[in-house]
Amino acid sequence: MARPFDVSAVEKKWQARWRDEGTYEVDNDDERERFYALCMYPYPSGAAHQGHIRNYTFGDLVVRYQTMHGKAVLSPFGFDSFGLPAENAAIKAGSHPRLFTEARMAELKSSVQRLGAVFDWRREVYSHDPAYMKWAQTIFLKFLEAGLAYRALAPVNWCPGCATVLANEQVNPDGTCDRSGDLVERRELEQWFFKITDYAEQLLNDVDDLEWPERVKTMQRNWIGRSEGVEFDLPLVEDPARGLRVFTTRPDTGFGVTYAVVAPEHPMLEELTTVDHRDEVRELVERARSASELERTASSDAGAGLEKRGAFTGSYVTNPFSAQPVPVYVADYVLGTYGTGAIMAVPAEDERDFAFARVHELPVVRTVEPPADHGEGPYAGEGPHINSGFMDGMDVASAKEAATAFLVAHARGERKVNYRLRDWLVSRQRFWGCPIPVVYCDVDGIVAVPLDQLPIVAPDDVVMDQSGQSPLATHEGFRDTSCPTCGRPARREADTMDTFTDSSWYFLRYADPFTPGMAFDPVQAAKWMPVDQYIGGIEHAILHLLYARFYLKALIDIGLAPGLPREPFKRLFTQGMIRLDGSKMSKSKGNLIAPEKYYDTVGADGLRLFHLFVGPPEDDVDWTAQTEDMIEGCARFVDRVYRLAHHDECFFHDEFTPEDEEVRREVHRTIAKVTSAMEGWSFNTAVAALMELLNTLSRWARRPEGAHLATLEESMDLMLRLLAPMAPHVTAELWEERHPGEPSVHATSWPVADPALVAHASVVMVVQVNGKIRARLEVSPDLSEGDAAAAALAAPEVVTTLAGATPQRVVARPPRLVNVIV
């Protein structure tokens, strides 16, 4: 494609200038109104892919747009530079993850710089920087001190193909490894946890006030999963003073409890199991322990599998409502980690209990009358209670209240709120992450590394084999140390922290990486926080956002971040994904479309415009054969702007005609349109409005009778300012040509539409007869209803169509439309 100017040279020139002059550096004591714009901390996978490009196009648009509104905009950049992919790649290539990662960082940085995205590079942060690790480890130790970090035995996800433990988010819903596709196994290991469950209530409640997409808020709420119910005892028949503690959200169905179930991990299981049932119970527990998630879920679909998944313990407990004994089963459909690990089973009102009861031939007693057409199955809906003694006739809500009161009085019951959310497992048995800064001593146990010895940085000569053991554990120089308390030989923790810990506070470091001796100065950070606009992918809707929210709350509570708002991200925008051939585009699948080829041909401005123009920013983008053409179309638009600014094929006249006046009005209407589109994140229509304006201006200036020169120049200037956040290079270049020696277009203010010019002098009113358009009339915008009706009925086309018939009704909606009904 032949271009009217050297796109590459122009883009390089301006990128260099923004970087060298520190145009987008902002100081913490800046007097202007503040705005914190942030794109999600990227994992350095190499040159940017189109998902990154999309992200930074939106982010940079916000930065430049807000800057034009006179604000001090904080726009930082950095890298989520620890992580498994680099470690795997390094093992494969026989190199070091740091070398590998830093090469990828350089590529990604180059990609975003060539996009023309601007940042305050003085604030750059990357996870494997010892200066960052020092504070990451300090935070860990402060959590430990505050009881927010603890160590416990837990099952983890082990991938045999990758020979390593995986993070939960790396396991597919079907229990396979996201990377290798192998079936993930469960292994029991001593692990470090963060007590995020302490914050469940706050994390749930604070979601309400966030300006986030509703669906992300819903996902957060579902993930936390609050449920209100009752915890109470089912007394043991053998020893009624003791009981099997259960949790239920449906105490009202208590009369329908025909059996109880404990999880295979339940502490009372052994005691409950009678001699003659020992073998079956043991077999079931063994199966449950070794079974992968996949096997457990797969068998739940088929009724045939259910029988094998439960066994009678031989014991009985008493249903406190009916005072009848009911059998206790063990089954893996009850989870050891939720509630009390034991349930009261109500087959008539619960799907799972029903399926289990059917296989094991347990009685089903309805306690809620289902609708007449309901049939055999379980019914969990609303209805009057039956077979329920004192609750008979009550609706579900009042029966719940009555049942709860009963349990509190008679079964050691108490109201209880449970959460689905589990504590955050932060240990990783891998090398390329931030080491957990503790030491194990035979005498003193777990000992924190003294703060003045941080950061603990892993040595370079570690063997990263595939044994599955933490690589650091095999390095004697790292492993063997002395106890900071007693001085005796001790060993270092060999696990590293989940990389989600790094991305949970980086935005605080950005706000103030300058103050020595602190992760960030809370006084400085408070000037920027919360992030005004956070932009990233929907794939982080749950984990990253939840973890970062937890971190900030915890940091405030342990005194590291006094005075900061308790929520980190005020507004969140989640962009759509780039899809190739209908599948999700990801680095692991290798189907990336590098931006570099576009920089060299259409230019960054063209590529940015494409991403803005292709559709609503929240929608997914299908990268197809047509995409190349669309990108070229956007570059064509850039060229047309350039040519018009250079008066290519234009003609001019001197006096200001009504046509010139109308063009001027059109410009102001465009200002109004683009401004509201920008505010509403409708970037595609903002670009369309500018394309329309360009079409209008070009046609006008190329008429033989010509255009009013001063009006064209005024229009061009306004258009360049509107276009500046979208296509920063060409607008900066043209502005400099037109205004040599003056401040850049990016230093001008965002245009404001003149309301007097936005208004139309006359508009076209549509006249319908029975809903069909018969005439168009040019009318004044403030035409009255009566006048509109009269004008419509007088229109010749209407008279002809009516052919003498009398209108039944005339609906006048001036100045848009009149509908004549006959």
Partner RNA sequence: GCCCGGGUGGCGGAAUGGCAGACGCGGAGGACUCAAAAUCCUUUGCUCGAGAGGGCGUGCGGGUUCGAGUCCCGCCCCGGGCACCA
Task: Report the alpha-carbon angle 9-727-535, nearest 5.
Answer: 120
DSSP letters, 26-39, are --TT--SPEEEEEE
Show the binding pattern over residues 172-191: x = contacts RNA (CB under 7 A), - = does not. -x------------------
* Spatial CA neighbour of 261 closest among 340, 323, 359: 340
Identify the residue whose tokens are 């998902």. Answer: 51
290 sits near RNA (criterion: CB under 7 A): no
Minimum Å distance from CB 594 to RNA?
21
**Rule CB under 7 A: which of 411-430 touch RNA?**
418, 420
Amino acid occupying residue 351:
E
Identify the residue whose tokens are 């690790």. Answer: 133
Minimum Å distance from CB 199 to RNA?
17
Task: Report the alpha-carbon angle 66-72-78, nearest 5.
Answer: 90
776 sits near RNA (criterion: CB under 7 A): yes
122 sits near RNA (criterion: CB under 7 A): no
222 sits near RNA (criterion: CB under 7 A): yes
475, 496 Cβ separation under 8 angstroms: no
Alpha-carbon distance values, 88 to 64, 101, 164 (Å): 38, 11, 10
Cβ proximity to RNA: between 326 and 687 the closer is 687
Cβ proximity to RNA: between 173 and 755 the closer is 173
819 sits near RNA (criterion: CB under 7 A): yes
205 sits near RNA (criterion: CB under 7 A): no
Distance CA 728, CA 713 (A): 19
* Candidate list 128, 179, 250, 428; residue touching RNA; CB under 7 A: 250
227, 220 Cβ separation under 8 angstroms: no
* Candidate list 25, 198, 632, 787; residue touching RNA; CB under 7 A: 632
Write the secondary structure of 480-528 as one string of H (helix), E (strand) and C (coil).
EEECCCCCCEEEECCCEECHHHHCCCHHHHHHCCCCCCCCCCHHHHHHH
Q: What are the residues whose beta carbons fall under 8 Å from the beta carbon of 102, sequence distance 6 or more?
A: 81
What residues are paired with 766 via a beta bridge?
A: 776, 817
784 sits near RNA (criterion: CB under 7 A): no
530: preceding bond cis by omega (within 30 degrees): yes
368 sits near RNA (criterion: CB under 7 A): no
773 sits near RNA (criterion: CB under 7 A): yes
Distance CA 818, CA 822 (A): 13
Alpha-carbon distance values, 157 to 534, 645, 651 (Å): 31, 61, 72
* Candidate list 397, 764, 794, 805; residue touching RNA; CB under 7 A: 764
* Candidate list 135, 194, 505, 637; residue touching RNA; CB under 7 A: 637
Cβ proximity to RNA: between 484 and 807 the closer is 807
247 sits near RNA (criterion: CB under 7 A): yes
Minimum Å distance from CB 284 to RNA?
12
Chain length of the chain: 822
* Spatial CA neighbour of 498 closest among 424, 555, 438: 424
Cβ proximity to RNA: between 219 and 441 the closer is 219
299 sits near RNA (criterion: CB under 7 A): yes
Contact region with RNA (CB under 7 A), list: 42-50, 98-106, 175-183, 241-249: 241-249
**Rule CB under 7 A: which of 6-65 touch RNA?**
none
Distance CA 580, CA 747 (A): 38
Cβ proximity to RNA: between 564 and 572 the closer is 572
**Rule CB under 7 A: which of 683-702 touch RNA?**
684-685, 687-688, 691-692, 695, 698-699, 702
Cα radius of gyration (the chain) = 34
Cβ proximity to RNA: between 136 and 345 the closer is 345
Distance CA 452, CA 125 (A): 21
376 sits near RNA (criterion: CB under 7 A): no
143 sits near RNA (criterion: CB under 7 A): no
Cβ proximity to RNA: between 44 and 327 the closer is 327
223 sits near RNA (criterion: CB under 7 A): yes
Minimum Å distance from CB 275 to RNA?
27
Contact region with RNA (CB under 7 A), list: 132-140, 185-193, 311-319, 614-622: 614-622
Distance CA 812, CA 787 (A): 9
Minimum Å distance from CB 247 to RNA?
5
Cβ proximity to RNA: between 344 and 723 the closer is 344
* Candidate list 72, 73, 74, 263; residue touching RNA; CB under 7 A: 263
CA dihedral 218, 223, 226, 230 (to 10 degrees): 140
Q: What are the residues whose beta carbons fall under 8 Å from the beta carbon of 662, sequence distance 6 or more?
A: none
Q: What are the residues whose beta carbons fall under 8 Å from the beta carbon of 108, sequence distance 6 or more?
A: 42, 44, 45, 46, 47, 48, 52, 79
**Rule CB under 7 A: which of 324-363 touch RNA?**
332-335, 338-339, 341, 343-344, 350, 352
Contact region with RNA (CB under 7 A), list: 150-158, 456-464, 594-602, 611-619: 611-619
Q: How many helices (H) and strands (E) does the chain have?
A: 28, 33
292 sits near RNA (criterion: CB under 7 A): no
Cβ proximity to RNA: between 220 and 504 the closer is 220
Cβ proximity to RNA: between 484 and 633 the closer is 633
Instruction: Kindly tell me the burial class for residue 511, based on how many C-beta atoms sit within 10 Å of its own C-beta (0-12, 13-18, 19 or more).
Output: buried
Write the secondary structure of 256-284 as one string of H (helix), E (strand) and C (coil).
HCCEEEECCCCCCHHHHCCHHHHHHHHHH
Cβ proximity to RNA: between 770 and 784 the closer is 770
95 sits near RNA (criterion: CB under 7 A): no
Q: Do β-strands 424-425 and 427-428 pair in parallel, antiparallel, or remain unpaired?
A: unpaired
SS3 category, 342: strand
* Candidate list 20, 31, 214, 461; residue touching RNA; CB under 7 A: 214
Minimum Å distance from CB 218 to RNA?
6
Distance CA 813, CA 537 (A): 44
Cβ proximity to RNA: between 512 and 639 the closer is 639
622 sits near RNA (criterion: CB under 7 A): yes
* Candidate list 274, 290, 770, 800; residue touching RNA; CB under 7 A: 770
**End-to-end CA, the chain:** 58
Contact region with RNA (CB under 7 A), list: 24-32, 46-54, 593-601, 682-690: 682-690
Minimum Å distance from CB 323 to RNA?
21
Minimum Å distance from CB 500 to RNA?
15
5 sits near RNA (criterion: CB under 7 A): no
309 sits near RNA (criterion: CB under 7 A): yes
**Rule CB under 7 A: which of 471-530 touch RNA?**
none
809 sits near RNA (criterion: CB under 7 A): yes
The count of chain residues that interact with RNA, using the rule CB under 7 A, is: 83
Cβ proximity to RNA: between 335 and 752 the closer is 335
Q: What are the residues whose beta carbons fall under 8 Å from the beta carbon of 228, sequence distance 6 or more?
A: 249, 415, 416, 417
**Rule CB under 7 A: which of 725-754 touch RNA?**
none
Cβ proximity to RNA: between 334 and 508 the closer is 334
72 sits near RNA (criterion: CB under 7 A): no
